[in-house]
Amino acid sequence: MKWKLTVQYLFSVLSIVFIVIFVNLIILIGVLYFQQTNGNDSLSTDTGESFTRQFSRYLSTENEQPLITDEGIQALREFGGWLQVLDSNGHVVTAALAPKDAPTHYSPVELVHIYKYMDDQLTTYYVGQFEEYSYLLGVQNSTEQRVVFMFNAQSFLSYVSKAFVGITIADLLIAMLVGLLFSMIITKPVSYIIDRISQLKERNFSIQKMKRQGVFKPVFSNLNSVSETLQAHEEERMKLEKMREEWISNVSHDLKTPLASIRGFAELLRGQDVMESERAEYAEIIERKSIYMKDLLDDFNLTMRLRNQEMPLHREDTRPASFVREIVIDVLNDPRYSDHAISFEGNAHNAIWSIDRHLMKRAILNFIHNAIIHNDRDIAITISVSDTGLTIEDDGKGIAKQDIEQIFNRYYRGSNTDNIHGTGLGLAISKDIIEAHGGHITLTSDIGKGTKVEIFLN
């Protein structure tokens, strides 16, 4: 591709050079033709030839002798020249403003010589005709010089043709060399641009930098911007694909057990010898498993959306002291937990949290319920609010060190949580909610001394 672009560019350059040479040749021929056909008319009246041809109007004859009028003498002074009138034998019959040492007779050879080559005083001579007389006009140190050369049409045409061919070849070679250098400079980034577009087509979105970008710098910048955008879209697509596969895999795995229970008890219900009391028990188990499946799906959807930042937060400015106090009151009003020792301390009267109240309430309740259901009934739970966050502390069983590192993993149950019901996603959801708000959690615990959870919100 690179060499193809180079050849195309080089061909374009050579074509332009050839066209320019041809056009210049046509213009040159036209100018020469115009000068040849209109040269006399184009000459200014200030030139020596023109002045000399027109000077005959200042000449007249009297008694068969030529005379120069006063206007002619004045014109000679203004022009800076002098004049001699010659008869047919070359004798000077009259003169005006001529130097004292000017010849009084000119032979034909002398006339030809001074007309072609000037004299020793660097005088330029012009010749005119008046009746049977001729006149010689001289201008010393003239700005005009006469160049005489021999011209052979055949040789000239041969020379011109050879010169044209030589100049054309030389110009084309120079243009080819320069065009090749420039084409290599220009076609390299163009070829790179084409390759980059092909890479994008093949879903290669890596960012690449090229040296000597030149005039193509905005193009490369835009290509890298496109690559970054496409890379972001590709990562988003892969993330969604991974999330979808993970969701399907986990849901499929986690639903097998309750589905198997539902199926088994449903088959028992169809039996003829099932007692009425057993039938009610089986129906209750099926209902409980169905509720578990619904809770599992809801919790799993929530944690997946939170971890993939797909869950929009409806933030509200909230005073943490009153907000957490209401949560503690709700827990104590629950008949299952009304006899537990739960205390509240609010030391953040001026603090304001920007939170999603619904999600944050669920996160805090998960920690409180976790402290309740994983300990004995006689433990004490202290919940305190400060300007920087929230602390939930109990004096219960504590958590083993090997369990602390995995306590926030999905479905993980510690060594002291036997026969505890739930989906296994509570603490994972709480952690995801806190992090979605830009906060973080620290958990410390000692066996036999209790557990302390600290929630920090920015």
The count of C-alpha atoms lying within 13 angstroms of the C-alpha of 415, restricted to the half-sphere facing its C-beta, is 9
Residue 207: per-residue pLDDT: 67
Which tokens is 402 given?
A: 């090997």
Tell me how far apart the alpha carbons of residues 182 and 2 are, in angstroms, rounded to a whole number.
13
With bands split at pLDDT 50, 70 and 90, how would you rate the model's confidence at 382? very high
Stretch 155-160: mean pLDDT: 74
Residue 8: per-residue pLDDT: 66
Stretch 137-147: mean pLDDT: 81
- Report whether pLDDT(39) > 60: no
The CATH number given to 316-456 is 3.30.565.10
- Report whether pLDDT(222) > 80: no
Residue 205: per-residue pLDDT: 67
Predicted confidence (pLDDT) per residue in 26-38, tens digit: 877 777 667 656 6
Q: Do the beta carbons of residue 447 and residue 415 sit within 8 Å? A: no
Best-predicted range by mean pLDDT among 43-47, 91-95, 275-279? 91-95
Is 48-140 CATH 3.30.450? Answer: yes
The count of C-alpha atoms lying within 13 angstroms of the C-alpha of 301, restricted to the half-sphere facing its C-beta, is 6
- Report whether pLDDT(420) > 50: no
Q: Do the beta carbons of residue 104 and residue 85 sit within 8 Å? A: no
* Residue extent(s) of CATH 3.30.565.10 domains in the chain: 316-456
Q: Do the beta carbons of residue 351 and residue 418 sit within 8 Å? A: no
- Report whether pLDDT(93) > 80: yes
State the chain's mean pLDDT as an integer: 78
Residue 392: per-residue pLDDT: 92
Tell me how far apart the alpha carbons of residues 398 and 445 are, in angstroms, rounded to a whole number.
5
Q: Topology of domain 219-307, per CATH?
A: Helix Hairpins (1.10.287)
Residue 217 to residues 114, 223, 326, 361, 417: CA-CA distances in angstroms?
Answer: 69, 10, 61, 53, 63
Q: Which residues contact 156 (CB under 8 A, 6 or more apart)?
A: none
Residue 411: per-residue pLDDT: 45
Tell me how far apart the alpha carbons of residues 162 and 277 are, in angstroms, rounded to a whole number.
122
Best-predicted range by mean pLDDT among 33-47, 59-73, 202-216, 260-274? 59-73
Between 193 and 423, residue with greater pLDDT = 193
- Report whether pLDDT(310) > 70: no
Tell me how far apart the alpha carbons of residues 139 and 102 are, in angstroms, rounded to a whole number.
12
Predicted confidence (pLDDT) per residue in 234-252, tens digit: 777 787 677 667 656 766 7
Q: In what order do the strands lie in the sheet with 450-456?
A: 341-346, 380-385, 389-394, 450-456, 440-446
Predicted confidence (pLDDT) per residue in 313-358, tens digit: 888 888 888 888 898 888 888 888 888 888 988 877 778 888 888 8
Predicted confidence (pLDDT) per residue in 129-138, tens digit: 888 899 999 8
Percent of the chain having pLDDT more than 70?
79
Which of 171-180, 361-370, 434-443 bottoms out in mean pLDDT, i.e. has the lowest?
Answer: 171-180
Best-predicted range by mean pLDDT among 10-14, 111-115, 188-192, 426-430? 111-115
pTM of the entire structure?
0.42
* Residue extent(s) of CATH 3.30.450 domains in the chain: 48-140
Residue 187: per-residue pLDDT: 64
- Report whether pLDDT(412) > 50: no
Residue 421 to residues 61, 255, 362, 370, 417: CA-CA distances in angstroms?
Answer: 146, 15, 17, 11, 9
* Residue extent(s) of CATH 1.10.287 domains in the chain: 219-307
Between 88 and 162, residue with greater pLDDT = 88
